[in-house]
Amino acid sequence: MGYVAVKGGLSAIQAAESLVQRGRLEGQSPLLQIEQIVEQQRLVVDQIMGEAGLYDEKLAALAFKQAEGDITEAVFLLRAYKSTLERVGYSLPIDTEKMVVFRRISSAFKSIPGGQLLGRTRDYTQRLLDYALLTETKQNQAAVALEEKAAPPRRFSRVSDVLRGDGLLAPLEPSNEKEPFDVTRESLKFPAPRSAVLQTLARGESGAMVAFGYSSMRGYGAVHPTISELRYGKAPVEFQHPITGNPVRIGYVRLTEVEGISHAYNSEGKGGEETTMGNAGEERDDEKAKPLFELGYGLVYGQNERKAISMAILDKALELGGNSPTGDQEFVLYHVDSVESSGYVEHLKLPHYVTFQSNLDRAREERRLAFEKEMQK
């Protein structure tokens, strides 16, 4: 079987694209509108915005519709669009202390300053199909909207501040990076600075990050944290006014933020084995009191708690390093990127005629030589 050149590739590609459009428009169901996706499929919209690194609900919904529900393809579309945009400036660092909180929980403490706010979540619902959705109407929509508007905005201090006040967490220190690394303009180089690590994780594919975080908790890593605090809400975005120099709020972004607390780890990646307190609960004379806990941090667009928790795990795992898969920067950061990983996997669908023909030629030659050698015996 030899190599055969095929003509007419462009017309075949155009026909395949037209089939996509025709298949989407077939059927009697009303066409799904962008506003419907934004309002009723908010979690997938949030996931696409987060993995694309572009906060625009309507464009994320458009990409989802165009990709026929393929999240990875939608992320690819949105990143491609993002690369065409002009960069007009940089916002000031977002202060999540100013977040208007819709949901806030802690699995480390039952009672936290300001109390726990369960908010909108499926964490406590039974996993049963709701057949009422098959005949759902919009009759209760107005009542739900009024109920949400009636809830007053709430702001909370951090649970971790209490731990720092008790000396159980190290005080926050400014970053030693003069400017944050920009993963959209520079290629990753290892060891990567923490700003590059956090950016890459924030844009990471949700499923891959959950898998890596899960592997760390199962023993293929050292990090198995407790959630000090998980909060979801909207935080203000501010720019510095070019004339007055004062910060000006230009809008809000919805964010999920997680702080995962773990025992302080030693150089071997083991935590909680050594403390600085004696049997009587007093500090040992030969060692200053040191913080007993450390935090891993996760921050993602929208409400994507699973990914934010995984990000907090991987943040701490990559800081620790070591021989585990989740301690290897190159392994984690390269493989959580959905566009890179899916692109490399799916490129196998493209023509590999020439390279496979060379493999065939080599295999045939090896078989011929083996046959000749057998005949000489």
What are the tens digits of pLDDT across the range 171-211? 888 878 888 999 999 999 999 999 999 999 999 999 999 99
Q: What is the pLDDT of residues 209-249, one digit of tens each?
A: 999 999 999 999 889 999 999 999 999 999 999 889 899 99
Residue 34 confidence class, pLDDT cut points 50, 70, 90: very high
Instruction: Copy the structure tokens of residue 304.
Output: 């994507």
| Model confidence pLDDT, tens digit, residues 96-115 | 999 999 999 999 999 998 89
Quote the DSSP letter at residue 32.
P
Distances from the Cα of 4 to the Cα of 1, 347, 351, 357, angstroms: 9, 20, 12, 10
Whole-angstrom distance, CA of residue 149 vs CA of residue 193: 42
Residue 296 dihedral angles phi and psi, to the nearest 5°:
-105, 145
Q: What percent of the chain has pLDDT over 70?
A: 87
- Choose among 311, 313, 302: nearest CA to 336: 311
Q: Which two tokens stand for residue 220?
A: 């293929």
pTM of the predicted model as reported, rounded to 2 decimal places: 0.86
Query: Are the C-beta atoms of 35 and 57 separated by less than 8 Å?
Result: no
C-beta of residue 198 within 8 angstroms of C-beta of residue 183? no
Q: What is the DSSP letter of 5?
A: -
Q: What three-state secondary structure class fits 119?
A: coil
Statement: residue 64 has pLDDT above 50: yes
Mean pLDDT is highest, among 80-84, 260-264, 350-354, for 80-84
* Closest among 175, 178, 196 to 187, alpha carbons compared: 196
User: Looking at per-residue confidence, does 316 or 269 come out higher?
Assistant: 316
- Label residues 120-131 b or e (16+ Cβ within 10 Å = b): eeeeeeeeeeee
265-303 per-position pLDDT tens digit: 654 555 544 333 334 344 444 445 567 899 999 999 999
